[in-house]
Structure 1
């Protein structure tokens, strides 16, 4: 974000969006306008600024302005229904909300924003104007040292807010290799950002471009032709694809010459099956470098590098890679003590990217094992485990069994509350395009073949598409609702 404060060429290309370029001059102009409104309102260092953050250049400028001025960016998701967004604005208690006109026109949103404090309307052209409200002195609660209050993706329940400090963001960028070159103010290289800016993967990608002076190709969301066109047009050497998007590229049979510039594809946000990464490499000769991280760590703390992949992938396929510089990983048992290599347990991370700092081990919700060569294998989430009448059911185990069926593209499993047993496993499967959906009886029989009796789901539904969050992870909340509806119709 330091580039906002430096004398960069105003006409230089900064952000490509919808077929047009925003220059650095335009980015800086919007940033200055936002800062001017905040200064005039008396909101100084540490002030919390709510931004309904969309994948648009003007929104990138606003986020950069807030962070560069050492205020606190409170992300508000435009992907929420209007009622939930209004409630989120009220719950955050921010003294100022920045959003575009379309968002403010949603029922109840402008009212909630006005009730909290000042409302700034952001135009598509980057113009900023006051749209109502006024700041109440008792609403100005500062968050010194906190750079971002960010929503998690909400895969296992209502989204929660994670507080990320400036030090965490800086460490996350450095650990990810996003360091500006000392002799080069702006870079001619470019990166695609298609994940939602309101989540860590999208925001991290945008900040990396701003921090290094790299051009940004900003997309509203992943779209196959737009992504391929950007790779082809800019001759990109590195691009990112979440597992579902990797599969989309493969199934679309994109000609290899259109991706010829790519050396590697990075993949995060969700576990990437080894067979999918191998299929992509086999078809295009492009290595898939998976990463492991979390919102709480302001990015990735482990993953694959190209040298690691070239040396180890044949022996470690399916691993999430090794700890990145500045991070340490260990696995502990139920007693909190570190377990021997190769033993499963709870993954813990020690890194400067954590809120606790580099001197404390942070216990994650992930089950994992670390082998003698330092490679970590993610085996599911501890908080996903379903306790069925005293027996533990790991959703990942049931998921793998269902995915052995040739007509099942992907499966998802969740725990449904049960009055007698506490919880029971239920599942949904996404059917391969062009394949006939397997019957429930067929899938139950398959599970009985591969699983213990208590692991077999009590209900299974077949779907064209699994319900997903904006970051393309399966939403367990919606999954339970879909399964309930499915078996209610048959009752």
Structure 2
């Protein structure tokens, strides 16, 4: 019996038990498209008249979308890629993109991967970080938001060291002003280019497709390289999901400089010819979107969505004022999902939250959950052809594999593991280095986890985020889950506060619902009543207007640890002036005292803490 290419492309993947049979066929025999361009051309050939993307100009105009069919999307990609080729972009050249989501950014991103290498940038990064990322990537062309689309991004773009600015208009813009400084609108410049084919040499599977910055909490963010194989393989692993068929509509509101937006809501839908509904430029940060979200879900028959836990926490408190029975699949990732958020959202909406796990260095997704086969406490089963295990990392850097069920550092191998970070360029293109994260093809995630015999991953916190109290390891999630079970708390983050006796003790930072009348002492007592492990009960709870996040939108616990350090030392030093500085991932306490006597006393107190510090006498 002959097995068709399409049959090989779509194995049964509805149950955790299917993993073994899927991997009995080598991935190379599955017939995946070699590149993101080949993936797009396949979709346009199979479904030329089907709607590929529907883009909202902004939340207030959610009934006035711009649509592109698959044939039209491919034509736009050809025009943009041919323009880039004419401007000198070749296979090893990076094209930077810095813009909030809009109708032109989707084809521009795919065009950059066709003509060269896409290097998306977060416009909220500091100009110094952006300049360094541009230098690492070597990008001389920047596709950027214009003054009407994102004024602050445009102001930043004009000061960056690039040769050419190609400017994006707002979605469905009618009148746009003339651009200064010789910049030109991308769509205008590309209008005369051939929409039927690419004039250059298409990429191959091993060529670099994208350069994505990651981190950004200390120093410049690192630039992680993705090959076309990385991106296509990960997108296919997610597309092999029987919960979503060709008629499914996916909602996308995460920014395209984030790998989740690229892989989950741009590339993966291309496999099945699905429609993606893109929110306006502010995405989930648009108050108008949240206020009309359920009506949008009903109007566009949204089937699936992808967001981070904080979005679902907000939606849990949003009255469901529309028919959302068509919403079958709500994906969540990027940071751990608190139990209180999961239970609250599901009870409020009737929609199951499907948790996943991934990181930029493994392209995007490494594990996904099964709504009909829940595994409590797990973030999901490893995706096909990705191998995962827990290891013990010894002081000399060597690894020891741990048996199933034992907690260790999670490591990953397989076709989605990146080739390294960009560290420079030479005559052969970008130079890459794992910078300590890669060992014989295995990626050290820095996460603590146990992997059960079925390949489900149970996270136990970030290795560097563990709170170590007197030698006892405390998972911050234990404290955070307790805080989030309080009806007034909307977000929570637990960190260690320096302690001269225990090394550190747990404390928590929270945000509250508007108008909530609860004190910090009451919240602390609540947590102490809820936390089952006595050592994990927080010593203090502090309320903030917002919890800090990194430049790529992930929780930034280092800033909270710095604040907890400042509070602890100010108390121990009886009101001395204490500040903290974050450098190279470490916290340094800066103490200012009135005189030499106070200096010696402060140094004596600081010696009781395992932290870096400096003491100076006030002038």
TM-score over 0.5 for the pair: yes
Residues 336-393 of structure 1 deviation map (CA, whole Å, 9 limit, x = unaligned)? 2222332211112222111269983322111111234443211111122356787755
**Superposed counterparts of 1:404-415, under 5 Å:** 407-414=488-495
Distance in 2 (alpha carbons) for counterparts of 1:188 and 1:241: 21
Q: Secondary structure at the match of 1:352?
A: coil
Corresponding position of 1:16 = 55
Q: Secondary structure at the match of 2:161?
A: helix
Corresponding position of 2:319 = 253
Corresponding position of 1:325 = 384
Task: Say how many residue pairs are matched.
Answer: 464
Q: Secondary structure at the match of 2:316?
A: helix
Distance in 2 (alpha carbons) for counterparts of 1:93 and 1:444: 54
Tell me if 1:206 matches 2:266. yes
| 8 Å Cα contact 1:298-1:354 kept in structure 2 | yes
Cα distance 1:485–1:119, how it changes in 2: closer, same or farther (>3 A)?
Answer: farther
Q: Secondary structure at the match of 2:160?
A: helix
Residues 282-313 of structure 1 deviation map (CA, whole Å, 9 limit, x = unaligned)? 343322211111111112111212xxx323x2
Distance in 2 (alpha carbons) for counterparts of 1:152 and 1:165: 16
Corresponding position of 2:222 = 160
Structure 1 position 97, deviation (Å): 1.5
Distance in 1 (alpha carbons) for counterparts of 2:529 and 2:352: 36
Cα distance 1:10–1:82, how it changes in 2: closer, same or farther (>3 A)?
Answer: farther
Structure 1 position 93, deviation (Å): 3.2
Corresponding position of 1:302 = 367
Unaligned stretches of 5+ residues in structure 2? 1-36, 58-63, 174-185, 191-204, 420-437, 576-619
Cα distance 1:295–1:340, how it changes in 2: closer, same or farther (>3 A)?
Answer: same
Corresponding position of 1:285 = 350
Structure 1 position 82, deviation (Å): 4.8
Distance in 2 (alpha carbons) for counterparts of 1:72 and 1:472: 23
Distance in 2 (alpha carbons) for counterparts of 1:91 and 1:67: 17
Distance in 1 (alpha carbons) for counterparts of 2:333 and 2:314: 15
Q: Secondary structure at the match of 2:255?
A: coil
Structure 1 position 260, deviation (Å): 1.0
| 8 Å Cα contact 1:178-1:212 kept in structure 2 | no
**Superposed counterparts of 1:52-71, under 5 Å:** 52-69=98-115, 71=116
Tell me if 1:38 matches 2:98. no
**Superposed counterparts of 1:54-453, under 5 Å:** 54-69=100-115, 71-82=116-127, 84-90=129-135, 92-102=137-147, 106-107=154-155, 109-114=157-162, 117-124=163-170, 127-129=187-189, 145-152=207-214, 154=216, 159-177=221-239, 188-204=247-263, 205-219=265-279, 220=281, 221-222=283-284, 223-255=289-321, 258-305=323-370, 309-311=371-373, 313=374, 316-335=375-394, 336-355=399-418, 360-386=441-467, 394-400=475-481, 402-403=483-484, 407-414=488-495, 427-439=508-520, 443=524
Q: Could you say which structure has the larger radius of gyration?
A: 2
Q: Secondary structure at the match of 1:57?
A: coil
Distance in 2 (alpha carbons) for counterparts of 1:172 and 1:191: 17
TM-score by length of 2: 0.65
Distance in 2 (alpha carbons) for counterparts of 1:173 and 1:226: 30
Structure 1 position 201, deviation (Å): 0.8
Instruction: Calculate the aligned-residue CA RMSD, in Å.
Output: 4.0
Unaligned stretches of 5+ residues in structure 1? 131-142, 181-185
